[in-house]
């Protein structure tokens, strides 16, 4: 869908590279947890056609308004997806603390703690054998998949988007008051079309990242099952619980999209949140 939307609008509007960068995040209070992308911009003339993927009420408001600029992320979905790895690592604990289920939250906390122990061990040793390293890699993958599915499934986890015309995309320094002054918010109330397109691109990038991590995780499960040692069985157990929770949530998402009432409700949440 993201490819269709972006290609469609590129056929309608002449885009050019934009100065500065687009900043996206879920947790504004954490100045280190954000992503930056190069941006493209173009001008939509008043009354110009618009892609029919948007709900009719939103499309009508765009058509009836004056000419305006449209911003999108610069890059193919594969390229955008590659930036998510570090972001998910930075924000994993924040997503975990927002989990409503006590059992799942405690499971994720335990898995995250064990994964951090793995990071502190740079090479296999007698006290930390290779099998532990392999299983903790599996925990890392399970946690990343869980965060990715949380972003995809929870309609209340909305992207916050800013256009920052003064900083380059690769300047990954913390967001401070000096850099915030020049930021321009992009949301459903002031730039609906830009916000919808950027969120669609981000969603597609998260989906691609989740699919890749899922393949890695299933491969690690297969390797683990072929091992005869029982070392690391608790870590495998935790990874299994996390994977099953991801499967449960994604199955719920697919089933819920069969309900038109739910689709309209989620669209309203996403566009007016």
Query: pLDDT for 190-220, tens place per residue?
Result: 888 999 999 999 999 999 999 999 999 999 8
> Could you tell me if 84 and 209 are in contact, meaning their C-beta atoms sit under 8 angstroms apart?
yes
Q: What percent of the chain has pLDDT over 90?
A: 40
> Could you tell me if 118 and 132 are in contact, meaning their C-beta atoms sit under 8 angstroms apart?
yes
Nearest to 241 by CA among 143, 98, 153, 100: 143
As a residue count, the chain comes to: 273
Residue 116 pLDDT exceeds 50 = yes
Strand duo 68-73 + 160-164: pairing = unpaired
pLDDT at 58: 45
Distance CA 133, CA 56 (A): 52
Q: How far is CA 213 from the centre of its chain?
A: 13
Q: How far is CA 74 from the centre of its chain?
A: 16
Residue 32 pLDDT exceeds 60 = yes
Residue 57 pLDDT exceeds 60 = no
pLDDT at 113: 92
Q: Who contacts 195 (Cβ-Cβ below 8 Å, separation ≥6)?
A: 161, 186, 187, 188, 271
Mean of pLDDT values over 51-63 = 47
Distance CA 92, CA 110 (A): 13
Q: In a 3-state reduction of DSSP, which class is residue 253? A: helix
What's the pLDDT tens digit per position in 153-187?
987 889 999 999 888 887 666 666 666 778 899 99
Q: Which tokens go with 125?
A: 């040793």
What's the pLDDT tens digit per position in 223-246?
888 876 666 788 899 999 999 999
The predicted model scores a pTM of 0.81
Q: What are phi and psi of 24, to 5 degrees?
A: -130, 150
């Amino acid at each position: 869908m993201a490819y269709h939307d972006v290609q469609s609008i590129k056929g309608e509007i002449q885009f050019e590279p934009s100065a500065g960068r687009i900043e996206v995040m879920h947790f504004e209070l954490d100045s280190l947890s954000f992503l930056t992308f190069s941006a493209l911009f173009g001008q939509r003339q008043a009354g110009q056609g618009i892609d029919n993927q948007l709900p009719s009420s939103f499309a009508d408001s765009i058509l009836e308004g004056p000419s305006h600029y449209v911003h999108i992320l610069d890059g193919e979905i594969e390229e955008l997806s590659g930036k998510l790895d570090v972001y998910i690592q930075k924000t994993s604990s924040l997503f975990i603390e927002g989990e409503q289920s006590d059992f799942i939250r405690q499971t994720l906390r335990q898995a995250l703690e064990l994964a951090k122990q793995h990071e502190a061990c740079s090479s296999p040793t007698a006290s930390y054998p290779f099998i532990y390293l392999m299983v903790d890699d599996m925990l890392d993958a399970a946690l990343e998949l869980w965060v990715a599915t949380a972003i995809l499934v929870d309609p209340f986890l909305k992207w916050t988007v800013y256009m920052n015309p003064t900083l380059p995309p690769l300047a990954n320094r913390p967001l401070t008051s000096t850099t915030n002054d020049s930021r321009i918010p992009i949301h459903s109330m002031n730039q609906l079309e830009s916000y919808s397109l950027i969120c669609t691109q981000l969603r597609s990038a998260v989906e691609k990242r989740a699919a890749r991590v899922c393949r890695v995780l299933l491969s690690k499960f297969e390797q683990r099952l072929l091992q005869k040692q029982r070392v690391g069985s608790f870590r495998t157990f935790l990874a299994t619980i996390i994977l099953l929770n991801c499967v449960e949530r994604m199955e719920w998402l697919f089933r819920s999209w069969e309900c038109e009432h739910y689709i309209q409700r989620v669209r309203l949440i996403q566009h007016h949140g």
